[in-house]
Structure 1
Amino acid sequence: MRRDTFLKALAASVAVGSLPQPSWASANLKMMIPANPGGGWDTTGRALGKALQDAGVASAVTYENKGGAAGALGLAQFVNASKGDGNALMVMGAVMLGGIITGKPPVTLSQATPIARLTSEYNVFVLPADSPFKTMKDVVEAMKKDPGSVKWGGGSRGATEHIAAAMIAREAGVDAAKINYVPFRGGGEAVAAILGGNVSIGGSGYSEFASYIESGKMRAIAVTSGTRLKGLNIPTLKEMGINVEIGNWRGVYAPPGITPQQRKALTDMVVAAMKSKAWAESLEKNGWTPAVLTGPAFDEFVEREFATLRMIMVKSGMI
């Protein structure tokens, strides 16, 4: 092992309070990204892979994209093909929970092993530059007249932007079951649909739209946070009189059947990666808020999120 690589691994392990494990420096990690290229999970998974290498806890990271059904297809492949593999991780988050609630797939998160929550991010709603709509008020008024006339574009059914659209409809007195929501398998597809005018309004994390907003190809009209995002002049739904606030978060899971020692090693590796320069750069570049949570606290958080999202969906008429 190169001396500088060893020193990086040692420094990272000291930071997380454990001795370096021999497998770290030679670890060849496999990263399942249960979405098509170009979206938030894809960006997160590849940023994490880079951070793991920067921290010296992985020598190589390979990626596999498997989009569809709010991550359920990738989850099923991960659970069935990676059982017991202590060198495998899968990106997941609030979108997957929503998809599981609405889609009820045969394979669920309870069959995999929780590792860590990584980041939190709010959704931004955008219009194509040549849209006849100028504000969220315009969108809501059109939806009131004819719910089907407004095409909402975003991630899979049950994604946070889908839930937010349903909540906006409910606040406006519109039957959420009648909204015209168009799901996409990845951020790249959603962006293309927005730019091409195939949907009326699109929703996702700011990082996925940032370059298009800055270039003037998209116009940001609302954010789902309680207060305006730092450095961005995008109004919140609440300040427009629409009482909707919902956040998105992303994390990683390991396969089923790993040992407690393997789970601890993977958790320590991820925590070490969160302390790396590469990860700090990714947080700043993408506008992500660090939200690291591991161990039993993360397990309990996921359980609460399932309950909360299910309640929101029921109230919004989605299920």
Structure 2
Amino acid sequence: MFAKLIGCGVAALCLSMSNAVAQDAKLGELSIIAPAGAGGGWDSAARAIQQVMTETGIARSIQVLNVPGAGGTVGLAQFATGAGSDANQLLVGGITMVGAIISNNAPVKLDAVKPLARLTGDPLAVVVPASSDIKTIDDLLGKIKSDVAGTVWAGGSAGGADHMLAALLTEAAGEDPSKVNYVAFSGGGEALAAMLGGQVVAGISGYGEWQGQIESGDLRALAISYPEPIEGIDAQPLKAQGVDVELVNWRGIFAAPQVSDEDMAKLTAAFDEMVKSDKWQELLKARGWADYYLPADEFASFLTEETQRIEGILTSVGLAGK
């Protein structure tokens, strides 16, 4: 009986402590729109925030809502028109959303919401099948130079980060980026099948998408697009190999369009605390994500410059304003 009382007492104490953490949370009950289907990069980013913020007591609870469509612009439009001044509603976005806004000439743009924090950066990997006679990034650039039309690329959605990098590498080889022969696949499995089946020359995706096949020896990673080497990845940055190209598949978080300055400051402080936490740093390492954090003001400035840069890239391949 005494043991049962002790057990009940411990359970009650734990529940009391848990409730205290929830009550002391800096943020309340949040919802985060992930503007894509479950399992993708934006969904993973939203659920990572959910996990770390609730485990550290920064937020009382977080619900993730998936709103897929049109490279994230459907979710963006829903958020921009519906969130108003609600500080408890947030949106995940990234470089592909910027590209989709430009290439689709979307009516709702990122200036309709408030940049809150740039969070993560994924390296894109340039790969070829292990059986390919292309052994280095210089070999690939030579292939592009000799036969730009015959250099068929596999990657994700048209106008996305993969497509942008293929265009930049085509330009680095001295060829017209508008002539890049890029095939957009709806999923990584389809792109992989095309790679292994010899239907394409090279592929581009987030390193994590190809990691298993790189480690098994089915694919050869020629380079990553991140500006610096990344621990645990043997493939070196393009810049380290003499190719003046970098492109980071970044992801960030946005606040509602009319959120007050007071609420914005509170959200900024909460995300600053999250990214500095041990749990967030452990999660980044486990997911293979780079810490790419910028606070609100710096993120807003970055976004202006990044939008101009992406518009230039997409214009070069004939996708801007289509």
Same fold (TM over 0.5): yes
Cα offset, 1:166, TM superposition: 0.8
Letter in 2 for 1:193: A
Partner of 1:202: 203
Residues 1:190 and 2:188 are matched in the alignment: yes
Letter in 2 for 1:83: G
Cα distance in structure 2, aligned partners of 1:217 and 1:4: 47
Cα offset, 1:247, TM superposition: 2.5
- Shift of the 6–290 alpha-carbon distance from structure 1 to 2, 3 Å rule, reads farther
Q: Is the CA contact (8 Å cut-off) linking 2:179 and 2:317 kept in structure 1?
A: no
Scaled by the length of structure 1, what TM-score is found?
A: 0.81
Provide structure 2 residue ranges, at least 5 long, that are not aligned to the other structure: 1-14
* Larger CA Rg, structure 1 vs 2: 2
Partner of 1:309: 310
Partner of 1:66: 67
Scaled by the length of structure 2, what TM-score is found?
A: 0.80
Q: Is the CA contact (8 Å cut-off) linking 1:31 and 1:91 kept in structure 2?
A: yes
**Moved >6 Å (runs of 4+):** none
1:192-231 mapped onto 2 (5 Å cutoff): 192-197=190-195, 199-231=200-232
- Secondary structure at the counterpart of residue 147 of structure 1: coil
Provide structure 1 residue ranges, at least 5 long, that are not aligned to the other structure: 11-19
Between stretches 43-52 and 60-69, larger displacement belongs to 60-69
Which of 3, 16, 21 is the matching residue for 1:2? 16
Partner of 2:116: 115
Cα offset, 1:42, TM superposition: 2.5
CA deviations on 1:255-311 (whole Å, 9 max, x unpaired) are 223222332333233223223333122111123232322232222221122233334
Cα offset, 1:239, TM superposition: 4.7
Cα distance in structure 2, aligned partners of 1:316 and 1:237: 21
Cα distance in structure 2, aligned partners of 1:9 and 1:206: 40
- Shift of the 118–318 alpha-carbon distance from structure 1 to 2, 3 Å rule, reads same
Q: Count residues with an aligned counterpart.
A: 303
- Percent of aligned pairs sharing the same letter: 34
Letter in 1 for 2:192: I
Between stretches 160-169 and 150-159, larger displacement belongs to 150-159
Residues 1:274 and 2:275 are matched in the alignment: yes
Cα offset, 1:169, TM superposition: 0.6
Cα offset, 1:106, TM superposition: 0.7
Alpha-carbon RMSD across the aligned residues, in angstroms, is: 2.9
CA deviations on 1:143-202 (whole Å, 9 max, x unpaired) are 3344343332334333333222111111212221111223356xxx13442245365433
CA deviations on 1:124-160 (whole Å, 9 max, x unpaired) are 1123445564443444344334434333233433333
- Secondary structure at the counterpart of residue 31 of structure 1: strand
- Shift of the 142–39 alpha-carbon distance from structure 1 to 2, 3 Å rule, reads farther
Letter in 1 for 2:85: G
Q: Is the CA contact (8 Å cut-off) linking 2:172 and 2:244 kept in structure 1?
A: yes
Cα distance in structure 2, aligned partners of 1:9 and 1:125: 47
Cα distance in structure 1, aligned partners of 2:131 and 2:43: 28
1:97-112 mapped onto 2 (5 Å cutoff): 97-112=98-113
- Shift of the 35–210 alpha-carbon distance from structure 1 to 2, 3 Å rule, reads same
